[in-house]
Amino acid sequence: MTLSIRSPLLRRVAVVAIVFGGLAACQKNDASAGQVAGKLDDAAQAAGQKLDQAASYVGQQVDATKAATQQNLESASAPSIKIDPAALASTAQANLQGAASATNAQLGKAAALTGQGLETAGRKLQEWSAQSSASSSASGSASSSASSDSSDAQKQMDK
């Protein structure tokens, strides 16, 4: 790439040097051919140095741009995501087993509470039945005891 930049620039510098040489030769001063050639050499060297500096600067800019572009590409790369079906299945199975265990524990608590409620209801029914039979044998009249039994039974059920 450096050769393609230098070739046209060197040609231009050479043309400029020839033109300056021709102009210097046309001037009416008593300069010798050696002085003109020295001045042309100095001008060519200065132009060559400037061209080298310009080529070096362009090369540095190209390298810096290339490095920055490479860094941007590397930082912009998407992270790779790996999905392991066996790990997903294992995690899902563990979650399901945990949920089943928690559900089983809650069902056990509900069954225990239901059992306690049924025991309490059974005792109350037994107490009511005992009270009901005691009150029916103690009362003399069948009609008054029947009406009081039903109101007592209703009161017991309301409790």
Within-domain flag for 109: no
Q: What pLDDT was estimated at residue 19?
A: 76
Let me know if residue 32 belongs to a domain.
Answer: yes
122 falls within a domain: no
Residue 87 to residue 93: CA distance in whole angstroms: 10
Looking at residue 32, its pLDDT comes to: 59
C-alpha distances in angstroms, 41 versus 18, 124, 152?
11, 128, 136
Tell me which residue range forms the domain holding 59. Answer: 2-71
Per-residue pLDDT at 55: 80
Residue 21 has pLDDT above 50, yes or no: yes
Calculate the CA 106 to chain-centre distance.
37
What share of the chain has pLDDT > 90, as a percent? 6
Domain count, the chain: 1
Cα 134 to Cα 79, 86, 103, distances in angstroms: 85, 72, 47
User: pLDDT, tens digit, for every residue of 22-70?
Assistant: 766 666 454 555 666 677 677 778 777 887 887 888 888 888 998 888 8
pTM listed for this prediction? 0.33
Residue 52 inside a domain? The answer is yes
